[in-house]
Structures are given as structure tokens and as C-alpha cells.
Amino acid sequence: MASGITEKALKLVQSLPRLSLSNIKNLPHSIKKTKRRRRDRQHGKTHGRGHKGQGQRATLPRLGFEGNNTPFYLQIPKEPYYKDHELRKEYVPVSLLQIQRFVDLGRLNVKEPIDLSSLCNTRLIQVKWEQKQFGVDLLDEGADIFCARLNIEVQKASELTIAAIEKNGGVITTRYYDPHSLHAVVNPAKFFAKGVPIPRCKLPPQNEIAYYSDAKNRGYLADPEKILHARVELAQKYGYALFEYENEEEKEMLLTRKDPRQIFLGLAPGWVVNLKDKVILKPKDPEFVNYYKS
């Protein structure tokens, strides 16, 4: 080695004196000075408080007070950046073009109902509840080339998107997941590995319940009869004929829907999935059964 650092270090260790209490030091700030009483000549008499006035007499006004004129912290106007931040929701944008591409490349199985779990299982879409994302917003980019017949469940969808899906004979429902249920839905494998009972999905909050009760949005809380009317109306508006289903199996698949409290298709809330033994445990206690059924 050119610099010979190792040799220099070894020589240093050889030449330095023996380690003893006189030549070692504590790490900085590892030992704090104890607070001592103010009794000596330097800290006595006024004890750090000066002479007379509010300072010595402990009657000072609150911090920021400027003698009754409007203080600095009230003079400057406030920009309410975080007002209603707890009510703001984000939805991950997914276009019809993307869905068509997933179907073409075999990432999504059209023969089974597609919900948020299947979309997230492709690992091409990520929904993060920590970032106040509440699901997926199906956009209408690619409505002109869309030709897949599928049963899809998203969180938000525009009128054109609904028309594009129903024109090809598909079924779309919009549905709400509360953050705790969303955590389970987005990564079912990770959730089942926990061994926790499947949560019961909560109803949407006040400002979202109107959206999901509207048949025009194909909301999961809307009246099914009104949805049928809305389908006919939309077909008339966009000028296509309503699809006639020939295959019974396909029709059954397209019409499967989840219960408003159910987050996984085929699995009820309250059940515990044991992945290792490949067994599902169901509650028997009437209190639990009634809670999860409601």
C-alpha cells in the first residue's frame, strides 16, 4: 500500500500511553450537569429575574402579546391548507384502455368477477390506504376500443365508462371500502396470513352515501329495479341495444354481487382463514354470529 495507513495505525497504538482514568473522556452530552440551587454570590440576590416589574413579579402576559395592539401572529392572514383534510379522498386512476390491455395480456380473468382484489393482485395497480386512497376510479380513456365483457366492481366510474362496459354486455357496480377493509382487500394473501377474522365492511360516510345510493352510478346501495331502469336509459342515451345473454353460466357470473358488508366474494365476515391447514373457521357464539350478520 502506498499510504501505509495500517502501519501508521499500528505504530500509533504501540507509541500511545497506557489507557487509564486520566486519559479517557465521556462522550459529549452523555452526562448532564445537575441543576443546583441558586444560592452562591453569582446566582443569589435577584436569582436571574432582574429588578422590579412584571419580570421579577411573575405577572408577564402570554407569549406573543404586544401591549394590546393586534399581535404579529394574528396580523398575518391564514391559508387553510389542511381544512377538511380528513374528508379528502383519493382514488387511483385506472382507464378502460388499461383494463383492456390486462385482459389481452391475460393478467385479468374475464370469466370471474373482477373486483379491487383481482386488480391489486396483478401488482400493476397499487392502492395505498395510508395515502388516503380509497380504491380505484375507472376512467373513460379507451371507451372507444373497449370490447371485453366483464363483471367489474370499482369505487368510482363516470357515465361514459358505465355505458362502455354495459354496451359490451358487462356489469359494473361502484362500491365503498372503509380503510380497515381496504387494507384486507388490497392484499388478501397478506391479510389471510394474519389469522384475523374477515372484517365487516362499514357503510360509506355522510358525504359519500348519496353517490353509492344512486342507480345512475350503479351504486351497491341503490335499488336494483332503479338500476335496471338506469341501464335502459343509458342505452337509449348512447344509442346501443341492451345485451341479450345466451349462456346461463356467463349470466350467473355477471350477475354475482357482494353483500354490502362482504369484502371477499364467497367468504363471509367473521370467518378466519387458516392458510397453512387450508381450513376456514366460522364463529359459533350467537353474539358474534349476530354481529357479523347484521
Partner 1 sequence: MKYVERLMPQLTVPEVPKHSSYPTPSGWVPPREEALSLPYQVRRTKNHMLPVYHEQTHQNRHCVHIRKVEGDIWALEAALKEHLQQLYPEKQLASQVHEVARSIRIKGHYIHDVADFLISKGF
Q: Which residues bind partner 1 (CB under 8 A)?
A: 97, 100-101, 103-107, 112, 117, 121-124, 142, 145-148, 188-189, 192, 264-267, 273, 275, 278-280
Rounded to a whole number, what is the distance in angstroms from the first to the last CA of the chain?
A: 77
Minimum Å gap between C-beta 184 and partner 1 is 10
Minimum Å gap between C-beta 175 and partner 1 is 16
**Residue number, 160 or 265, with CB nearest to partner 1:** 265
Minimum Å gap between C-beta 251 and partner 1 is 20
**Residue number, 110 or 227, with CB nearest to partner 1:** 110
Minimum Å gap between C-beta 243 and partner 1 is 17
Burial of 141 (0-12, 13-18, 19+ CB in 10 A): middle
Minimum Å gap between C-beta 256 and partner 1 is 11
d(CA 163, CA 147): 12
Ranges of beta strands (E only) in 149-222 are 151-154, 156-157, 171-174
d(CA 170, CA 164): 9
Minimum Å gap between C-beta 121 and partner 1 is 4
**Residue number, 122 or 207, with CB nearest to partner 1:** 122
Grid cell digits, residue 181: 377493509
d(CA 256, CA 264): 12
Minimum Å gap between C-beta 293 and partner 1 is 18
Query: Strand, coil or helix: what is 96?
Result: helix
**Pairing mode, if any, of strands 272-274 and 279-281?**
antiparallel
d(CA 4, CA 267): 70
Burial of 97 (0-12, 13-18, 19+ CB in 10 A): middle
**Residue number, 50 or 106, with CB nearest to partner 1:** 106
**Residue number, 103 or 171, with CB nearest to partner 1:** 103
Q: What are φ and ψ of residue 77, in 5° steps?
A: -70, 155
Report whether 168 contacts 148 (CB < 8 A): yes
**Residue number, 164 or 227, with CB nearest to partner 1:** 164
**Residue number, 10 or 105, with CB nearest to partner 1:** 105
The residues, ordered by sequence, that sit 6+ positions from 157 with a Cβ below 8 Å of its Cβ are 137, 138, 172, 174, 217, 218
Minimum Å gap between C-beta 130 and partner 1 is 20
**Residue number, 210 or 280, with CB nearest to partner 1:** 280
Nearest to 199 by CA among 185, 176, 181, 177: 181
